[in-house]
Structure 1
Amino acid sequence: MTIDTLPTTGALVAPRAILQVGSKVIEWSSWDGEHNSINEAGTIHVEVPGKFADWAWWTQQTEILVDVYVGFPKDPQNYSASDLTLLQTFRIDSIRLNAATLGISLSGRDLTSLMTDQKIDIKFQNQTASQIATFIAQKVGLTPNVQPTTDLVGHFFTQDHVSLHRQQPMWSVLTYLAQHEGVQCFVLGRTLYFGAFGSALSNQPYLIQYDPPTTARPYPTSNATSLEFEHDLTLAQDVSVRVRSYHGAKNAVYTSIATASKTAKRVERDANLAQTLQQYDFTFTGLTQAQCDAKAQQLLDQISKHELKMEAKLPGDTIIYPWTPVIVQGTGTPFDTTYEAARIRRRFQVDPPKFEVSVHGKTVTDAQTVTLS
């Protein structure tokens, strides 16, 4: 089952959007907003039509939070924010005034920026990751939606040799802990999510169907208005990642090699590699053999994700997010696979009317575990 319905019915729809600052609904001529990934702040750019009388209000604001609501109301002539979906809340970083056109340009980031811009001392070794996530959310004024964890984070810090006596950006601390716990960490609206929210947020995939030309129909069709693919020929070769580490306490040097081929993924400790492999070398300090194995697999997965890339433009909607898998089918090539959305951009403009979403995806690593040999 997919999150979108195919084939489409061809019914006319009337998308609507409301941009709201507090209780004030603001005028706009166009806006585009991005979700960059689960672990990064999204961005927004808004064009406000020129009215000199509005300049005073905009320049008097010390902080501007814009709630972006989008949807398809039953009555497109009479609707409110309650009839739409809260797409995201953005914090405006800059206001630009154009003296010739009187227009106002707003640029900002979602509320992840509250944590990327603030640092905090890592002194939580006797607390759990969920306790820290709740503390940070409340400290920056976000509502925490945090699932409980049990391990004390001092174990993580000691294992990875992270300094406990220097400041780190709050967001770096949270994403570090989320990676160790194997959970998601992101901001939606004014809520910080920390946990495994796959089913709650709908992990159903979005399907892009491509139908090649036929004799009767000498042109392709698709539910995407534009569809492009990229194949990284370097990463298409068998890839290996070698991690070396000197462990001072054990006075030992450890090596781990993770390899990916068209037929298998594996982690090896033998330094003799086939010459056909595309090799990446990394050096870390203080890792055990098990940590070298884990680090090699992690880096291999990150590199392998970029082998196949996809970019699609689709009719605007509110159902695709960074946690939504995107499936392409119908090309009859290796591009028929599942992609992870690295960047999602929505653009809405008044004249001429347009609402579209662009998805930039990369292949999802198919192996979740490895065997040691």
Structure 2
Amino acid sequence: MTINTLPTAGSLAAPRAILMVGSKVIDWSSWDAGHNGIYEAGTVSIEVAAVFADWAWWTQQTEILVDVYVGFPKDPLNYSASDLTLLQTYRIDSIRLNAATLGITLSGRDLTALLTDKKIDIKFQNQTASQIATYLANQVGLTPNVQPTTDLVGHFFTLDHVSLQRQQSMWSILTYLAQHEGLQCFVLGRTLYFGAFGSQLSNQPYLIQYDPPNTDRPYPTCNATSLEFEHDLTLANDVSVKVMSYHGMKNAVYTSVATSTKTAKRIERDADLAQSVQEYSFTFADLTQAQCDAKAQLLLGQISQHELKMEAKLPGDTIIYPWTPVLVQGTGTPFDTTYEAARIRRRCQADPPRFEVSVHGKTVTDAQTVTLS
């Protein structure tokens, strides 16, 4: 099952958007809003159709939060923000005024910026990851939606416990903890989400159906307006990741090698080249053997994700987010697979009306075998 229905019914869509600063509705001419993966801040650029009298109000603001609402209201001539979906809340970093056109350009990031811009050096001793996430969310005024964890940070990663005592950004701490707990961490609206939200966030894929040319139709069809692929031939080889660590307290050296084998799905080539393995080596301080194994697996997955890439432009909607898998079918090639959205951008224009979504995806790791040694 997919979150979009194909073929479409062919009904006329009337997308609408409302941008608000508090209770003030912005008279915009275009905007470009992004989600840059679930571990990064999204950005926004807004063109405000302004008159000179508006300059005074904008330049007097010291803190600007813009709520971006978009959707397909039943009555496109009579609607409010409650009829639309809150896409994201953005904090404006800069205002640019054009003296010739009187226009105003707003640039900013989502409220992840509240966490990326603030560094702390608190010693989080004997606390769980969820306790830390709740504390940090409250510190910057975000509403915490945090699922409880049980392991003490200092218990499952001695080195991590030490590193959390150094001054670093709040966001670095949160994403670090989320990665090693196997959880999601992202900001949506004014809420920090920290946990496994598979049951709350739809994990059904968005389907991109490509139909190649045939004898009756000498051109391809697709529900995407643009669809491009990229294949990294270096990562198409077998990939091996070696992690080495000297643990000072234990006075021991630990090594772990994680290897993904893709031989069965590779095209036959020269015998020498067919045996090639792309090797990566990393060195970290004070990891145990179990931590070396976990780090090797993590790095292997991150590297392998970039073998196949996809970029698509789609009609505008509010159902694709960084946690939405994107499934491509119909090409008859290895590009028919599931992609993880690395970057999503929505662009909306008032005149002439236009609303589209672009998705940059990378393959979800699906190596045939993964071994540790």
Q: Secondary structure at the match of 1:144?
A: strand
In structure 2, the partner of 1:343 is 343
Q: Secondary structure at the match of 2:186?
A: strand
Unaligned stretches of 5+ in structure 1? 265-273
Q: Deviations over 1:200-221 (max 9, x none)?
A: 0111110000000010000000
Aligned pair 1:279/2:279, yes or no?
yes
Q: How far has the Cα of 1:167 moved from its partner?
A: 1.1
Give the TM-score of the pair, scaled to structure 2.
0.94
In structure 1, the partner of 2:271 is none
In structure 2, the partner of 1:204 is 204
Alpha carbons of 1:335 and 1:48: their partners in 2 closer, same or farther (altered >3 Å)? same
Q: Write the distance in 2 (CA, Å) between the matches of 1:22 and 1:367.
A: 48
Q: Write the distance in 1 (CA, Å) between the matches of 2:369 and 2:232.
A: 24
Q: Deviations over 1:232-284 (max 9, x none)?
A: 011111111111112223332222211112158xxxxxxxxx96111111111
Alpha carbons of 1:164 and 1:179: their partners in 2 closer, same or farther (altered >3 Å)? closer
Whether contact under 8 Å (1:161, 1:286) holds in the other structure is no
Q: How far has the Cα of 1:84 moved from its partner?
A: 0.2
Q: How far has the Cα of 1:163 moved from its partner?
A: 3.0
Q: Secondary structure at the match of 1:162?
A: helix
In structure 2, the partner of 1:256 is 256
Runs of 4+ in 1 over 4 A off after TM superposition: 367-371
Whether contact under 8 Å (1:157, 1:163) holds in the other structure is no
Alpha carbons of 1:161 and 1:65: their partners in 2 closer, same or farther (altered >3 Å)? closer
Instruction: For 1:144, give the aligned amino acid.
Output: P
Unaligned stretches of 5+ in structure 2? 265-273
Whether contact under 8 Å (1:230, 1:310) holds in the other structure is yes
In structure 2, the partner of 1:113 is 113
Whether contact under 8 Å (2:124, 2:165) holds in the other structure is no
Q: Write the distance in 2 (CA, Å) between the matches of 1:309 and 1:137.
A: 34
Instruction: For 2:213, give the aligned amino acid.
Output: P
Q: How far has the Cα of 1:179 moved from its partner?
A: 1.3
Give the TM-score of the pair, scaled to structure 1.
0.94
Instruction: For 2:178, give the aligned amino acid.
Output: A
Aligned pair 1:329/2:326, yes or no?
no
Whether contact under 8 Å (2:212, 2:220) holds in the other structure is yes
| Aligned residue pair count | 364
Instruction: For 2:41, give the aligned amino acid.
Output: A
In structure 2, the partner of 1:167 is 167
In structure 2, the partner of 1:24 is 24
Alpha-carbon RMSD across the aligned residues, in angstroms, is: 1.6
Q: Secondary structure at the match of 2:77?
A: coil
Q: How far has the Cα of 1:95 moved from its partner?
A: 0.1
Q: Deviations over 1:272-331 (max 9, x none)?
A: xx9611111111122222221211111111000000000000000000000000000000
Instruction: For 1:342, give the aligned amino acid.
Output: A
Overall identity of the aligned pairs, in %: 85
Q: Write the distance in 2 (CA, Å) between the matches of 1:290 and 1:155.
A: 13
Q: Write the distance in 1 (CA, Å) between the matches of 2:370 and 2:42.
A: 33
Aligned pair 1:353/2:338, yes or no?
no
Aligned pair 1:215/2:215, yes or no?
yes
Aligned pair 1:52/2:52, yes or no?
yes
Q: Secondary structure at the match of 2:163?
A: coil
